[in-house]
Amino acid sequence: MYVAASGLELALGIVLLPAWLIAAVTTGLQPGRRAVGRMRRMSRIALVLVSVALLLTAARLVVYGLLARHGWVFVADRRLFTTFVMLLPAVIATVVWTVPWLASAARNGVSPARAKPRARGRLPDPAAPVPLEEQSRARSPRHVVPPRLAAFGGLGCFAQMFLPPDRSFWISLGAYGLITAAVGGLLVWRANARLQRLLTGREIPRRRAVAVRLGTAVVVLGTVVGLANYGIAGSRLPHTFSMMKGEADWGGGAAGQHHDMAGDHHMATGTGGADEVSVDELRGPRSGTPDRRFSLTAQAKKVKLASGKTVDAWTYNGQVPGPQLRVTEGDLVEIKLRNELPGKTPVTIHWHGVDVPNGEDGVAGATQDAVLPGKSFTYRFRVEESGTRWYHSHQAASEQVDRGLFGALIIEPKKQTRPMDKDVSVLAHDWQTDKGTVPALGALDELERRRAEPGEKVRIRLTNTSGSTREFAIDDVPYKVTALDGTDVHKPTALKGKKLVLGGGNRMDVEFTMPDGPVRVTDGSAPDAGIVYSPDGKGVLKADLNGPEFDPYSYGGPKRTALGPDSDFDRDYKLVFDEWLGFYDGSFGLKQTINGRVFPDTPMLMIREGDVARATFINRGNEDHPMHLHGHHMLVLGKNGKRASGSPMWQDTVLVRPGEEVQVAFKADNPGIWMDHCHNFWHSKLGMVMHLAYDNVTTPYEIGGPVGNKPE
C-alpha cells in the first residue's frame, strides 16, 4: 500500500509541473487576445487546463492522506512543505481569483459587469475588440500570478527528491515559505510591470525582449552548472578521515565522559583517560591451541555456474561460495586470511551474526586495516553461540561480496537436540556473468535433483547473500521454521505453502521430514532453478511461489526474555531512512539517508557498557532496508505499533520495508565500535552507514589512507 501510494505521489509530482506550467502559460496568453471571440476561446482552453491541474492537485492531496495513514513521520517532511507551503496557497488563490475570471471570460469574452447596458443579456460580437480596460483587468496580477506560482509549487513537487530530507521543521518552514513568497513577489512585480506597459502603450522592443530572455536562460543554465560543480566538489569524501565523524546521538540519555569522540572532535588513541580502550585491545585469545583452524585465500578465478555461464569471480580458496566452515559452540577458532587478489585490491573477513570481540570483526577502517595483496591477517575468537552464520569481505563489499567473497559459517551446538540426516546450506546470490545477472542457489542456476530417503530429517539453512529481498518456497511438505538469523524459534508450528521472505544478510532454518514424494526448494528470483529432493533422485515438482507471506512476528510460542517492550531503556534512538537525489563522493545517484544524512555525517550512536537500548527504524523511502548491527543481537519488539506476539525474534539483521516502523532492543554487552548499516551493500555505498560506539572505545584506524580502507 505504501509503495503504491508513494509511487503514485512521485508520478503526480512529475505530472503536476507540466500541467500547471501549461495552464499558467495559457492563462497568460489569454489577455493578449484582442478580439472578444478569440479571448473567449482562449479562456475556455485555459479553464480546461487549469481544471486538469486542479484535479491532479486534488489527487496529490488524496495520496498525501493515504501516506499520512502510515504515520505523521511519513509525511511531515519534504512532502509537507512542497505540498502545503509551495503548492497549496497558489492553488487556493487560483480557485478564488483565476477560475472565476476565466469562467466569466469563457462565457462572455468580457466581464458582464463591464459590458455596456444594451449588450447585457446577449453575447458580445466575437469580432468586436476587447476594450483596453478589459485587457488590463485580464492582466491583473491576481488573475495571472496564481497559476504561475502554482507552477512553481509543481516544480517543488517535481524536484522533491532533490531536496534535503529531515531538516529542522521550523527552519524548513521558514525557508520554503520565504522562497515561495519571494517567487510570488517577483511574479507580482513582473505582472504589474507588464500591466503598466499595456496602460502606457510602452512595449519592450522585440530584440530587447529576446536578449533579456536569452540572458535569463544563460544565467539559469550557468547557475545550474555552477551548482552541479559545487555539488560534485562538495560531495567528495576526504582521502583519509575517521569513521566517527558523525554527530553524537546519546539516545536521549546522559552523555558519557568521552563525548568528544564523535563529531569533529574525534579522540585519537591515547588521549582519553585511564579507562580508554582501543579496538586493538579488544581481540580474541592470543594464546592457546585452536580447536579449529582454517586458511582462506582471497584470489581471482573464472568460475562456471551449473549452466555453464562464467563468473569473473573473486573467491576464497578458488571456489564460490567459499568453503563452508563448521565449528562447535565453545571452540577456539583461528582463521588465517591471505590476500592474492590482483593489483592493489585489499580485503577483510567479517563474521556475520557472530558476536566476536570488536578487534576480530573485520571492518576495514574501523577494527583493522584491510589486508593488501601479498599480506595476511589472522582472526582468533571463541564462539559462544550456535546457529547459521556466514562470512564475507567488509572492504568495498558492494563489489567484493557481489563477485563471490563470501561463504557459510555453521556453529553446531554443544548438545544436539535435533540431529539431522541432511543438513544443507543454501546461499542465494546474484552473479554477474558473461550472460548478464544470474540468480542462483550457491552456484546452482539450474534445477538440481538430489536423493533423500522417506523419513529422513532434513534441515535447509537458507541464507540471502545478496542485497535485495528474496522470497523462498518449500513445496509439497509440511515444515517448521526452526531458527531466524541462527537463533532458535521457540515452539515452532508446522507450515505449508508459505512464502518465506529474507532480507539481505538474513538467514532462516527450515526443517522437515522427507515424505514419499518429491520436495522442492525454490528461490523466487530464480523460479526455474532450485533443488528437488526425492527418494529416487529424479523427482519432478513445479514451484509454487504464490502462497501467503510467512509472518515471523506471530510465529511460534512466547517466551520470557530479559528485554522487552516495557523495559527501562537507557538509550532510545530514532532512525528515519529516506532517499535523496544528489551527488555523493563525486557521483550522482539516489543517496540513502539516515535522519537526513549520509555517511560519514550520519548519527554516531553513543552508548555505555551495560546500557539497555531501544532503536526505532522508520523506512520513509521506497526500497527495503535490512539493517545489520555488528557485534550484537537485537530483540525485535514489534512493527507498525503492534507488538510481536510469537517466539522472541533475536536477529542481527532486521528487515524494514517501505512504510514500516520496526522497534528493536539490545543490551550493550560487547564493547567496541560497531558498524550498523543497511545490508544492501549498494545502499551502504550510497551513504546508509552509521556506527554504534561505546563511549570509552577508540580506534587507530581510518577510512582511506595508504591501504584504501572502504568499509561498505
pLDDT tens per residue, range 223-270: 888 988 888 988 899 999 987 778 899 999 888 765 444 444 344 444
- 11 pLDDT exceeds 90? yes
Looking only at the bridges linking them, the beta strands covering 587-594 and 322-328 are unpaired
Supply 508's cell numbers.
Answer: 532462516
H-helix or E-strand spanning residue 703: strand 703-704
Structure letter (DSSP) for residue 96: I
pLDDT tens per residue, range 37-63: 677 788 889 899 999 999 999 999 999
Mean pLDDT of 597-621: 96
561 neighbors 635 (Cβ within 8 angstroms):
yes
* pLDDT classification of 129: cutoffs 50, 70, 90: low
- 36 pLDDT exceeds 90? no
Domain ranges of the chain: 2-201, 240-276+559-704
The CATH classification number of 240-276+559-704 equals 2.60.40.420
Give the span between the Cα atoms of 297 and 342, in whole angstroms: 12
Supply 143's cell numbers.
Answer: 488573475
Between 162-166, 190-194, 309-313, the lowest mean confidence (pLDDT) is in 190-194
Q: Which amino acid is at 28?
A: G
634 neighbors 664 (Cβ within 8 angstroms):
yes
Phi and psi dihedrals of 215, rounded to 5? -60, -40
Give the span between the Cα atoms of 345 and 450, in whole angstroms: 38
pLDDT tens per residue, range 663-707: 999 999 999 999 999 999 999 999 999 999 999 999 999 999 899
- Looking up cell 589472522, which residue turns up? 378
Give the span between the Cα atoms of 95 and 645, in whole angstroms: 51
User: Euclidean distance between the first and final Cα of the chain, in Å?
Assistant: 31
Q: Is the peptide bond before 454 cis (omega within 30 degrees of 0)?
A: no
511 neighbors 417 (Cβ within 8 angstroms):
no
* pLDDT classification of 136: cutoffs 50, 70, 90: low
- 119 pLDDT exceeds 70? no
* pLDDT classification of 143: cutoffs 50, 70, 90: confident
Q: What is the mean pLDDT of the chain?
A: 90
**% of residues, the chain, pLDDT over 70:** 91
- 115 pLDDT exceeds 70? no
Give the span between the Cα atoms of 600 and 100, in whole angstroms: 53
Mean pLDDT of 17-38: 78
Give the span between the Cα atoms of 580 and 141, in whole angstroms: 35
Write down the pTM of the prediction. 0.92
Q: Residue 549 forms beta bridges with which residues?
A: 499
Give the span between the Cα atoms of 64 and 260, in whole angstroms: 41
Neighbours of 169 (CB within 10 A): 12
pLDDT tens per residue, range 209-235: 788 778 888 988 898 889 888 889 888
Angle separating helix axes 141-158 and 169-200, nearest 10 degrees = 140
The DSSP-derived string for 621-648 is SSS-EEEEETT--EEEEEETTEE--SS-
Which pLDDT score is estimated for 439?
Answer: 96
